[in-house]
Amino acid sequence: MQVDDKTNVPASLAVTSAETDRNPIPPEALVEVDPMASLVIKIDPETVDEDGFVSIWNVAATTMGGKTELARVLASKMLGFLCKHQCDFVFASSTDANYLDQWFERDTSLLYDWSPASEKVDVVTQHAQVPAKALVRFLKEKKFDATKNYSPRRADRVQWFSDLWCIG
């Protein structure tokens, strides 16, 4: 059996570039991979503070390899999921909470527009701090699926932010 010296592939199985040029992969054989499928939530230790807290945005950004658009998609899904499941360990400093309250008074879309295309997602998730280990455990226990959309009702969003977020 002859083996290609460079690839260690049997010569009978080797594919030359001339063959792939003559027989390109048909478009229907190409499969687009959903970046949210089989997602593993990652937390960069550098983004966790001394008390073990991290912003939801930093978790999304780390998980998506720093790609802003993908981070926003994941952050949007996480925000909706945490709200729908009434997660009660989201924290904001009094300054951050006041900033978000004032923004909401000027523009209610801050809590109503959590679509993956909305920069409002960035604003909310950058100010929402969670205990890193508790977040990972919560997402696992409640079966977070990044391929699904979680869209809580408007009233639930306001109630979650007003009553369940911890301020301090």
In a domain, 147, yes or no: yes
What is the span of the domain harbouring residue 157? 47-167
Residue 35 domain flag: no
Q: What is the pLDDT of residue 139?
A: 97
Which pLDDT value is given to residue 168? 87
Strands (E), the chain: 53-55, 91-92, 129-131, 166-167
Tens digit of pLDDT for each residue in 83-109?
Answer: 999 999 999 999 999 999 999 999 999
The answer as to whether 154 is a domain residue is yes
Number of residues that this document lists for the chain: 168
The number of domains in the chain is 1
Is the per-residue pLDDT at 143 higher than 90?
yes
Worst-scoring range by mean pLDDT, 1-10, 74-83, 154-163? 1-10
Please, is 70 exposed, middle or buried when counting C-beta atoms within 10 Å of its C-beta (0-12, 13-18, 19+)?
middle
Within 10 angstroms of residue 147's Cβ, the number of other Cβ atoms is 11
